[in-house]
C-alpha cells in the first residue's frame, strides 16, 4: 500500500470511527489480557502502532493534516471495573442477608444503604451501591431465596431418607392458616442431622383434605419413597392426614411405608395462674355489680371457679406437677437427635407421676416400658388411699392460708388432685411414643444402655430392626449385619470407654456413632442414620412461629414471607451473615433477579386480566341469559294469552 492510499484511508469514515473508539475510555487494549513476550511488554504494541501512524501522518502532511491517535488505556482499568462491579453485587447481597437476619423491612434496608456513600465517600463500592426498596425486595425474593432453595433441594436429592415436619398457625396479616414445612435429614457433608425450612402453605381451611393438598404441593420435589416419617402434633385432623398419606404411599410403593413413633402432646400453660388469680377474683366481683352479666360460657366457668376457696391449693398442686414436667420438655426442645433418649426419659417421667398415686409394689412390678403403660389406673387396688396421698409442700402452704378448712373440702381437693395425676398420666400414655416399638428399640443407641449391657442393647436393636424391615427401610440381610456389627462395636473396650464418657449436653450423638462405626460397619451406620433422622418432637416448627411474627409487616405478600424464612434459615444454619458463602452462582442469580421479577409481574398482571376477563364474560353471559329468560317469559305469556283467547272462541262457538 502506497503513501497516497494510507493518506486516503486516514481520512476515511471507517478509520475515523475506529480512532474514536480507541479514544473512548471504555475501550481496552486486547494485548493487556495476554502475558508480555520475553523481550516485548504488552504496552509496546499500542505505542508502536501510535508511532507508525504518526510517522505516516507526518510524511503525508502536505496533502492530509495529521490527527493525533490516542493510545488505548491499560486493561487494568477494565479489569478493576469488573471486580468493582462484582464487589458491589456482593455487598448488596450481604446487606440483604443482614436485613433478613435482623428482621428489617425492605424500606429500612434501602434507607440505611443510602447512608453508605456518606460514611465512605472515597469507596468505589459505596459510590456504585444502589439498593432501593424494590431492588432489596426482588434481590431477596427472586435471587437469594431461589438460590438457597435450589441448593437445599439438591442436597435432598442425594439423601436416601427425609423426615417432614409441619404445623399450622394463624397468619394475622393474611388472615389465613399458615402451614410451615421443615425437612430433617442426614447431611453427608458434615455427618450430622439437620433440620431446614422448606416452604409454607397458606390455607383457608384446615380440614384433612386441605392439609393433604398443601402437603403434596410443599413436597412435590421430594420423592414419596424418601419420606421416612411425618413429624406433627396430635390433633385428630393430623392423624387423619397421616392415615391417608400412609395409604397413598403404600399403594404407590408397597415396599416402603411411613414410620410412626407417636406424638407427645404435653403443653404447659399454668405458671402465671396463681399470680393472676387475685386479679381474676377482683374482675368477677366488679362484673357482678353490673346490671348485665356476660353471657359467654368462659365467664360462667371463671365465676364458678373463683367461688372455690380451695382453688389456690389446687393451682399450687398443679404447678408442682408442671415443674416436674418442665425439665423433660426443656431437654427435648432441640434439633439434635434425641430419640434414643426419649424412651428412658418418658419412662422416668411417667414413673415419677405414677409414684404419687400408684402403690409401690405395683409400680415396682412394672419393670418394663410395656408393663408400665398397662397399669390400670381405674382399678382401686392399684391406687393408694386418699389419707396417704401427699399433695406436696406448695399446696400445703396454700392450704395453711385458708382459715379453718373443712375436712370434707380437704378430702375433695385430694380426690381432684388424684384425678389430675391420672389425667396427666393418661395424656402421656394416650399417644405416647412409649407405645411404639421403634421408640423403645431406638434406645439401643443410647450410650448409657450400650455401656451398661451389650445384651440389653442388642435386644432393643433387634426390636428396632424388625420394625424397619417390616416398613421396607432395611432388608433382612442388612439387619443381620447391623446386629453383628453392633455387638462387635459395643464389645470393644475402647468403644466402651468412649460410650461411658459421652456427655450429651456438649456432644452430638451422630458424631459418636460415626466415629464408632468407622468404615467397616456400613449396615450399622445405615441403621444409625435412619434412627437418628427420626424426629422426637415438633419444637423446630414451633420455633419458626416466632420467626414468622418477627418477619411479618403490614401488607406482606405470602411469597415474600416464604423467601425471608428461607434466607433467615440459611443464615442461621451458617452461623451468621459473615459465614454465608456468597458464590459466583449466587451473584449470577441476583443479577438476573430483576428480569425474573419483571417476568413475574407480567405473569401476575396477565393472570389478573384473565380473571377480570373471565368475570366480565361471566357477567355478560349471566346478563344475556337473564335477557333471554325474560324474552322467553314474555313469549310464553303472549302464547298463553293467545291460547286463552282461542279457547274462549272455541267455547263461544260450541254454545
Q: Could you read off the pLDDT of 45-59 as tens digits, one per residue?
A: 344 344 433 443 444
413 and 324, same structural domain?
yes
The tens digit of pLDDT for each residue in 262-272 reads: 765 555 445 55
- Report whether 76 contacts 117 (CB < 8 A): no
65 and 103, same structural domain?
no
221 and 291, same structural domain?
no
455 and 445, same structural domain?
yes
321 and 234, same structural domain?
no
Residue 539 falls inside a structural domain:
no
Task: Please report which residue ranges of 332-472 form alpha helices under DSSP H.
Answer: 339-354, 360-365, 369-372, 393-400, 407-430, 437-441, 447-452, 454-470
Give the number of domains in the chain.
Answer: 5
* C-alpha torsion sign, points 487, 491, 492, 496: positive
Residue 547 falls inside a structural domain:
no
424 and 442, same structural domain?
no
pLDDT band at residue 74, thresholds of 50, 70 and 90? low
- Report whether 428 contacts 345 (CB < 8 A): no
Last residue of a domain, one of 389, 414, 435: 435
For residue 169, what pLDDT is reported? 85
**Which range of residues forms the domain containing residue 45?**
3-73
pTM: 0.75
292 and 216, same structural domain?
no
For residue 404, what pLDDT is reported? 83
CA distance 501 to 191: 21
Output b/e per residue, 17-54; b: 16+ Cβ within 10 A: eeeeebeeeeebbebbeeeeeeeeebbebbeebbeebe
Tell me 576's DSSP state: S
240 and 200, same structural domain?
yes
CA 207 vs CA 204, 237, 431, 551: distances in Å: 9, 7, 21, 27
H or E element at residue 119? helix 116-119
The tens digit of pLDDT for each residue in 75-127 reads: 555 666 667 888 999 999 999 999 999 999 899 999 999 899 999 999 989 98
Residue 543 falls inside a structural domain:
no
329 and 420, same structural domain?
yes
CA 304 vs CA 58, 280, 408, 412: distances in Å: 113, 12, 19, 16
Output b/e per residue, 584-593; b: 16+ Cβ within 10 A: eebbebbeeb
Of 9 and 342, which is predicted with more confidence?
A: 342
Residue 153 falls inside a structural domain:
yes
117 and 44, same structural domain?
no
Q: Residue 103 burial (CB < 10 Å; 0-12/13-18/19+)?
A: middle
Q: What is the DSSP string of 516-562?
A: HHTTT-HHHHHHHHHHHHS-S-SHHHHHHHHHHHHH--TT--HHHHH
For residue 159, what pLDDT is reported? 93
H or E element at residue 495? helix 493-501
SS3 632: helix
User: What is the layout of strands, in order, in the sheet containing 176-187?
Assistant: 192-203, 176-187, 162-171, 227-231
166 and 228, same structural domain?
yes
CA 425 vs CA 325, 347, 539: distances in Å: 11, 11, 21
Question: Does residue 277 carry a pLDDT above 90?
Answer: no
Angle at 226 between CA 220 and CA 230, to 5 degrees: 80
Can you say how many angstroms the Cα of residue 618 is from the centroid of all Cα atoms in its chain? Answer: 40
Residue 44 falls inside a structural domain:
yes
Any idea how long the chain is?
655
For residue 133, what pLDDT is reported? 92
pLDDT band at residue 11, thresholds of 50, 70 and 90? confident
Judged by average pLDDT, the poorest of 186-190, 511-515, 618-622, 649-653 is 649-653
392 and 325, same structural domain?
yes
Residue 550 falls inside a structural domain:
no
Residue 33 falls inside a structural domain:
yes
Amino acid at each position: 500500500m502506497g503513501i497516497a492510499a494510507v493518506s486516503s484511508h486516514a481520512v476515511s469514515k471507517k478509520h475515523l470511527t475506529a480512532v474514536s473508539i480507541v479514544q473512548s475510555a471504555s475501550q481496552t487494549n486486547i494485548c493487556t489480557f495476554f502475558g508480555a513476550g520475553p523481550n516485548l511488554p504488552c504496552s509496546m504494541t499500542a505505542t508502536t502502532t501510535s508511532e507508525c501512524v504518526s510517522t505516516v501522518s507526518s510524511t503525508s502532511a502536505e496533502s492530509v493534516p495529521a490527527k493525533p491517535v490516542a493510545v488505548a488505556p491499560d486493561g487494568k482499568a477494565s479489569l478493576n471495573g469488573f471486580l468493582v462491579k462484582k464487589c458491589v453485587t456482593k455487598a448488596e447481597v450481604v446487606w440483604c442477608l443482614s436485613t433478613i437476619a435482623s428482621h428489617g423491612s425492605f424500606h429500612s434496608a434501602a434507607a440505611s444503604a443510602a447512608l453508605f456513600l456518606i460514611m465512605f465517600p472515597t469507596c468505589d463500592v459505596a459510590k456504585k451501591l444502589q439498593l432501593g426498596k424494590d431492588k432489596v425486595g426482588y434481590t431477596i425474593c427472586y435471587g437469594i431465596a431461589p438460590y438457597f432453595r435450589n441448593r437445599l433441594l439438591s442436597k435432598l436429592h442425594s439423601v436416601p431418607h427425609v423426615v417432614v415436619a409441619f404445623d399450622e398457625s394463624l397468619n394475622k396479616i393474611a388472615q389465613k392458616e399458615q402451614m410451615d414445612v421443615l425437612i430433617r435429614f442426614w447431611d453427608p457433608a458434615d455427618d450430622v442431622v439437620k433440620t431446614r425450612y422448606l416452604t409454607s402453605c397458606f390455607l383457608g381451611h384446615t380440614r384433612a383434605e386441605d392439609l393433604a393438598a398443601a402437603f403434596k404441593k410443599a413436597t412435590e420435589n421430594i420423592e414419596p419413597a424418601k419420606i421416612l416419617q411425618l413429624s406433627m402434633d396430635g390433633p385428630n385432623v393430623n392423624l387423619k392426614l397421616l392415615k391417608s398419606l400412609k395409604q397413598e404411599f403404600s399403594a404407590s410403593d408397597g415396599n416402603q411405608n411411613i414410620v410412626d413413633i407417636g406424638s407427645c402432646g404435653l403443653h404447659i400453660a399454668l405458671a402465671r395462674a396463681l399470680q393472676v388469680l387475685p386479679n381474676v377474683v377482683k374482675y368477677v366481683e366488679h362484673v357482678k355489680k353490673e346490671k348485665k352479666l356476660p353471657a359467654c360460657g368462659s365467664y360462667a366457668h371463671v365465676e364458678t371457679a373463683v367461688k372455690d376457696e380451695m382453688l389456690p391449693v389446687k393451682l399450687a398442686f398443679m404447678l408442682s406437677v408442671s415443674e416436674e414436667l418442665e425439665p423433660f420438655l426443656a431437654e427435648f426442645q432441640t434439633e439434635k437427635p434425641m430419640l434414643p433418649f426419649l424412651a428412658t426419659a418418658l419412662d422416668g417421667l411417667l414413673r415419677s407421676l405414677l409414684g404419687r398415686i400408684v402403690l409401690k409394689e405395683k409400680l415396682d412390678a412394672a419393670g418394663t416400658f410395656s408393663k408400665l403403660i398397662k397399669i390400670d389406673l381405674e382399678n382401686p387396688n392399684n391406687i393408694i388411699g386418699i389419707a396417704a396421698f401427699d399433695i406436696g409442700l406448695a399446696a400445703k402452704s396454700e392450704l395453711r392460708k385458708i382459715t379453718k378448712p373443712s375436712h370434707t373440702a380437704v378430702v375433695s381437693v385430694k380426690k381432684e388432685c388424684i384425678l389430675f395425676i391420672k389425667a396427666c398420666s393418661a395424656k402421656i400414655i394416650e399417644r405416647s411414643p412409649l407405645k411404639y416399638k421403634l421408640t423403645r428399640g431406638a434406645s439401643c443407641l443410647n450410650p448409657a444402655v450400650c455401656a451398661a449391657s451389650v445384651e440389653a442393647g442388642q435386644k432393643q436393636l433387634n426390636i428396632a430392626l424388625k420394625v424397619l424391615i417390616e416398613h421396607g427401610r432395611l432388608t433382612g440381610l442388612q439387619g443381620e449385619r447391623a446386629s453383628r456389627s453392633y455387638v462387635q462395636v459395643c464389645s470393644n473396650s475402647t468403644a466402651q470407654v468412649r460410650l461411658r464418657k459421652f456427655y450429651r449436653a456438649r456432644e452430638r450423638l451422630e458424631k459418636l456413632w460415626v466415629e464408632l462405626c468407622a468404615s467397616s460397619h456400613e449396615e450399622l451406620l445405615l441403621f444409625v442414620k435412619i434412627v437418628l433422622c427420626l424426629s422426637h418432637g415438633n419444637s423446630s416448627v414451633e420455633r419458626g412461629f416466632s420467626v414468622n411474627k418477627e418477619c411479618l409487616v403490614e401488607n406482606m405478600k405470602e411469597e415474600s414471607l416464604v423467601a425471608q424464612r428461607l434466607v433467615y434459615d440459611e443464615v442461621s444454619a451458617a452461623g451468621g451473615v459473615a459465614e454465608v458463602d456468597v458464590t459466583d452462582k449466587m451473584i449470577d442469580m441476583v443479577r438476573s433477579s430483576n428480569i425474573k421479577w419483571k417476568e413475574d409481574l407480567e405473569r401476575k398482571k396477565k393472570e389478573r386480566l384473565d380473571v377480570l376477563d373471565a368475570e366480565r364474560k361471566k357477567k355478560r353471559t349471566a346478563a344475556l341469559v337473564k335477557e333471554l329468560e325474560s324474552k322467553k317469559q314474555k313469549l310464553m305469556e303472549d302464547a298463553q294469552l293467545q291460547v286463552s283467547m282461542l279457547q274462549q272462541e272455541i267455547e263461544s262457538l260450541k254454545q
